[in-house]
Chains A and B, each alone.
Chain A
Amino acid sequence: MADSINTLRISITKRYGGKTVLDRFPLEIRGREFVTFLGPSGCGKSTALGIIAGLVPATEGEIWHDDQRIDNVLPEKRGFGMVFQNYALFPHLTVFDNVAFGLSLQRRPAAEVKQRVQEMLGLVRLTGYEDRYPGQLSGGQQQRVAIARALVLQPRLMLFDEPLSNLDAKLRVEMRAEIKQLHARLGLTSIYVTHDQAEALSLSDRIVVLREGVLMQVGTPQEIHDRPKNVFVADFMGFRNFFDVELGHANGGIVESVSKGLKLRARATDDLLGPAVMAIRPEDIRVSRSADDVNSIRGKVELVEYLGREQEFAVSTEEGQRIWLRSAEKVALGDNIEITLPVEKLVLLPRD
């Protein structure tokens, strides 16, 4: 459907006053991809999006669209679509006029405008709402109007700036699916900004993790989730347990180290040597003793959080190390239990 881009290459730096908000942010996006910029507030992801849109000027750097450099092209001429966090619907226009806005600027014939707007409203399941005003719509409906308004122009690139942050949890999950469907159905190329890792994992072809303007890792959702490359990404993606270790040489693909009285073994990663960090997810830890006593730890349950199907609880070792697990096992406060950290689930990370 859309006349999508082939490639977008950027390398941008942005400084506000003395502060570097984006440090040589490099990216290459291919047509039809769904790329997410993921990171906590203030990491520069929205700024990067603003620069790609042309709304915010970069301090240094370049943006290449196919073979053309578009740094100096005005936002209204770039042909990108954008959806904002607060929807930014024109309050004085009806739903129809909002969606038709871009088309009316192009002086399209009325019949064409009507047909395209109604088609798009059908796609976002808002047929029949043409004459309502934004003030009369719910948050989810407003967001769908905002999406329709951008998509009706068949943009070459879609930019989403935390579009679901203002919606409640249930609605967020529903809208997420809708966005994914639209992207696939219309053959879009999309850049999506969010701080929610669940959103990023479910929507993206590739995820770009940012921290204070610096690229921390780029990869597929699986790579980011299973094989984080540094402590920041691991922490952001849900690894809750970190052990400072000293690594020696690998022995048959396994490295061993002691951390706060715990003897831990993990699969060797590349050539990581010396000071490092071992990390593991709460849900990967088993509440049982291992067959060969490898990575088994004894401890006392100190905190229990009931989550419905499972519990998340903290186990304290004798040396005072606290380990978080998530499990469906019935465990109570004060229990003395044995847990195992499976060797293949321990991830090795460089120490910061």
Chain B
Amino acid sequence: MAPARTQERSELDWVAIMCLAPSLLYVFAMFIYPFIYGIYVSLQPLKGEAWSFKNYVAFFSDPYQYVTIKTTFALALPNTIVVVLIALFLAYGMRRGIWMERTITTILVLPISLGVIFLSEGILGFYGTNGWLNQILLGAEIIQEPLELTHNFTGVILSLFMQNFPFCFLMLLGYISGIDPSLESSARMLGAGPWTIFRRVMLPLIAPGLIIAFALVFVLSFAVFPSAVMVGQPAGLTRTISIAAYQQAFEQYDMSYASAIAVIMGLCQLAALIVVIAVRRRTTIATTMGVGKR
């Protein structure tokens, strides 16, 4: 007999609750509560009366601070777009398997596992003015002066790309491979060429996953911290909002202000997510409408 999914109320019996309790309590105690506590703390500024928006006002009146939003956006948005587009291109092209797929995907897991710090340290060396890349380019006389690729905006972009691309690529590869291949075959039998198949059959199916991937990568990039410090210019060009929050917390010891900045950062990410969800709603409606049209 097919194990019945009973829809009775007794599915959530005491055994279920006992099993869920520890992890659920942990998430509540260590995630939800600090969140709420953080919001509370942000409203109790160090120098001022309780329950005021002083921190928020201070943030938005100080150009040194609020410019971080723009800086972080300028880093996160282009990076996300490039990563997602390239990852889509590659994952789509590799959807039916490719020579040495297992090796390639294994190698791509490395940057994800090694993590930001190691990669940034390596980027400093490899892309530095005295690093191998410049040596090769100079030696082959492709350039006359060494390229400034580290301790600036470019460095952070590079670092973000190296971290986010493999992650996004593997996600999309898994997702696209899961689409029923017979859909493509039937489209071909009906006379559709590869671009048409992509545009009218595959893209609508990939869209949900693509949008989620975009959201994930953007949100991650927006919170960039160590790369901005290690291969960027934390004092200037690449002073991201997370650096601002960190400095308030651990250099100025103003936990209240820091929490406020963290809240602002969270709100920015939330705003981005909402935009993404709205786009998703519109695209799914559009594609279903497109199906009827000829």
Contact = CB atoms under 8 A, between A and B. Distances in A.
Interface string B1-24: 110101110100000000000000
A84 interface: yes
A84 B2 CA distance: 10
Of B1, B6, B8, B10, most buried by chain A (CB within 10 Å of CB) is B1
A85 B1 CA distance: 7
Contacts of B8: 16, 57
A84 B6 contact: no
A50 interface: yes
Contacts of B2: 46
B1 A84 contact: yes
A16 B1 contact: no
A17 interface: yes
Contacts of B1: 46-47, 49-50, 84-85, 161-162, 193
Given A46-B1, A49-B1, 4 more contacts: A16-B6, A47-B4, A57-B8, A161-B1
Interface in A189-219: 193
Interface in A175-189: none
A56 interface: yes
A193 B2 CA distance: 13
A162 B6 CA distance: 21
Contacts of B6: 16, 56
Interface residues of A, number: 13
Interface string B173-191: 0000000000000000000
Contacts of A16: 4, 6-8
A50 B3 CA distance: 10
12 contacts: A16-B7, A16-B8, A46-B1, A47-B4, A50-B1, A56-B6, A57-B10, A84-B1, A85-B1, A161-B1, A162-B1, A193-B1
Interface of B: 1-2, 4, 6-8, 10
Contacts, number: 21
Nearest to A50: B1
Contacts of B7: 16-17
Contacts of A84: 1
| Those 3 A-B pairs whose CB atoms lie nearest each other, nearest first | A46-B1, A161-B1, A17-B7
Nearest to A193: B1
B248 to A, nearest CB: 54
A162 B2 CA distance: 11
Interface in A78-92: 84-85
A268 B170 CA distance: 74
Contacts of B4: 16, 47, 50, 56
A77 B89 CA distance: 59
Interface string A59-99: 00000000000000000000000001100000000000000
Contacts of A47: 1, 4
A51 B248 CA distance: 64
Contacts of A50: 1, 4
A301 B2 CA distance: 43
A50 B4 CA distance: 10
B209 to A, nearest CB: 32
B58 to A, nearest CB: 55
Contacts of B10: 57
Contacts of A162: 1
Contacts of A46: 1-2
A47 B6 CA distance: 11
Nearest to B1: A46
Of B4, B7, B8, most buried by chain A (CB within 10 Å of CB) is B4
A249 to B, nearest CB: 48
A317 to B, nearest CB: 43
Nearest to A53: B1
A18 to B, nearest CB: 10
A84 B3 CA distance: 11
A14 to B, nearest CB: 10
Nearest to A45: B1
Contacts of A85: 1
A180 B6 CA distance: 33
B258 to A, nearest CB: 50
A131 to B, nearest CB: 30
Nearest to B10: A57
B274 to A, nearest CB: 34
A57 B10 CA distance: 10
A135 B2 CA distance: 21
A7 B6 CA distance: 29
A46 B2 CA distance: 8
A55 to B, nearest CB: 9
Contacts of A17: 7
A57 to B, nearest CB: 8
A100 to B, nearest CB: 25
A46 B1 CA distance: 6
Contacts of A57: 8, 10
B6 to A, nearest CB: 7
Interface in A214-252: none
B16 to A, nearest CB: 15
Interface string A4-20: 00000000000011000
A138 B31 CA distance: 51
A193 B1 CA distance: 10
A193 to B, nearest CB: 8
A132 B7 CA distance: 39
B15 to A, nearest CB: 13
Nearest to A161: B1
